[in-house]
Amino acid sequence: MRTQVAIIGAGPAGLLLSHLLHLNGIDSIVLESRSQAEIEATIRAGVLEQGTMDILKNAGVGARMQAEGALHHGIELAFDGRRHRIDLSELTGKAITVYPQHEVIKDLVAARQAAQGQLLFEVSEVELHGIDTVTPTVGFTHQGAATRIEADFVIGCDGYHGVTRPAMPLQGRQDYQRTYGFGWFGILVESAPSSNELIYAQHQRGFALVSTRTPTVQRLYFQCDPADHVDNWSDDRIWGELHARLENNDGWRVNEGRIFQKNIIGMRSFVSTPMQSGRLFLAGDAAHIVPPTGAKGMNLAVSDVHLLAQGLEQFYHQGQEDRLHGYTAAALKRIWRAEYFSWWMTSLLHNFTDASLFQREMQRAELECVVSSRAMATALAENYVGAF
């Protein structure tokens, strides 16, 4: 098989890149290790920045997002028994949209398939060769047959556990990493929304987050031990924990409902540089991870591939490579900003078991500053909506 751009991974990064290239007349093949049904059912992100919405809209894949996504103009921060609204739109002129990542995936898969794009599911044994030449190849197995793609470029969009980052030459690599001693317990619930806006709660029992998916499905999270197991958490125990962390005596309550999914996710900050070597480029979670507190991961994946698509377009249509050469530097500006914000939101809102009494007071004082100083609230809002 021969193509211009071989893309590994059909997450938001790989699918959007393939679609953006197609709009520019550039041919690609996407290789995905899971099935179409699986990628379209995996529950992950929910918050899209305005810039992400604009990219999806301009690429002609935003119709359902605009019709079904919910525009949110603010978020709430809860601590010390009180809730404080951060008015994102008033402070920044921008808003966010709550539209599930797997719906974005469905829209992108439909667009690629409608354009007869080559999207191969359930591939295995993906191997990269010759990335330091101008004719890299990708070997893989599909439907029992060993196959090979010859391409001009290979783009690693295969997430944190993929095969493309380990294929990068070790010389000159620098990884940056921070792990947190806690995770998030996430549930999906059949109920009406408990709140019109997302609630980020800091509590002595640990962080909790009220988010939403649709008018009838809600997404809730609470800080937990990353080594804990979902089987240790009965529905009653989960509701007890959420009520304790989210409610006070103002009468507001979290709506209970049938819990139909439970999972535990770890939290880490991670950046691997450079994001390119020869004809191999990395985008999205393959190159960097943020803890979910700032809701930035998918938005970063979208902005990476937006930059890459521009670089590849310049290469093919103008015969110039400076955008591709500058990809890592351009992408990292936004990535470090999002790493900083996600780390800061995580530090502001979670319980750190090793925190001293002094550090706990600093955390509370910082929360007070954020909700009482317009300047600090604006800084949070700008970072949250992605106005940078």
Q: At 172, list the tokens.
A: 């000159």
Q: Identify the CA nearest to 43 among candidates 243, 237, 207, 187.
A: 187
Q: To 5 degrees, how large is the angle CA 251–CA 254–CA 256?
A: 125
Neighbours of 289 (CB within 10 A): 23
Q: At 93, list the tokens.
A: 């002129």
Active-site amino acid positions: 72, 200, 292, 296, 384
Q: Does 69 bind ligand RFL (CB under 6 A)?
A: no
Contact letters for ligand RFL, residues 149-188 (x by CB under 6 A): --------xxx--xx----------------------x--
Q: Which of 5, 6, 7, 13 binds ligand RFL (CB under 6 A)?
A: 13
Please enumerate in sequence order all residues whose Cβ is within 8 A of that of 63, keeping only pairs 6 or more positions apart, or say none.
107
Nearer to ligand PHB, 94 or 219 (CB): 219
Q: In whole angstroms, how close is the CB of 89 to ligand RFL at the nearest point?
A: 18
d(CA 290, CA 282): 16
d(CA 134, CA 152): 6
Nearer to ligand RFL, 15 or 26 (CB): 15
Nearer to ligand RFL, 72 or 296 (CB): 296
Q: In whole angstroms, how close is the CB of 73 to ligand RFL at the nearest point?
A: 17
d(CA 182, CA 179): 9
- Token pair 């600093």 is found at 362
Please enumerate in sequence order all residues whose Cβ is within 8 A of that of 39, keeping only pairs 6 or more positions apart, or say none.
10, 11, 32, 102, 105, 109, 121
- The partner in contact with residue 117, picked from ligand RFL, ligand PHB, none with C-beta cut-offs of 5 to 8 angstroms by kind, is none
- The partner in contact with residue 149, picked from ligand PHB, ligand RFL, none with C-beta cut-offs of 5 to 8 angstroms by kind, is none
Contact 353, 63 (CB under 8 A): no
Q: Does 75 bind ligand RFL (CB under 6 A)?
A: no
Q: Does 257 bind ligand RFL (CB under 6 A)?
A: no
Q: Which residues bind ligand PHB (CB under 6 A)?
A: 45-47, 198, 211, 219, 292-293, 295
Contact 272, 173 (CB under 8 A): yes
Nearer to ligand PHB, 154 or 198 (CB): 198
d(CA 114, CA 119): 11
Q: Which of 5, 6, 7, 10 binds ligand RFL (CB under 6 A)?
A: 10
Nearer to ligand RFL, 26 or 308 (CB): 308
Q: Where do contacts with ligand RFL occur on this chain (CB under 6 A)?
A: 8-14, 31-34, 39, 44-47, 101, 123, 126, 157-159, 162-163, 186, 265, 284-285, 292, 295-299, 301
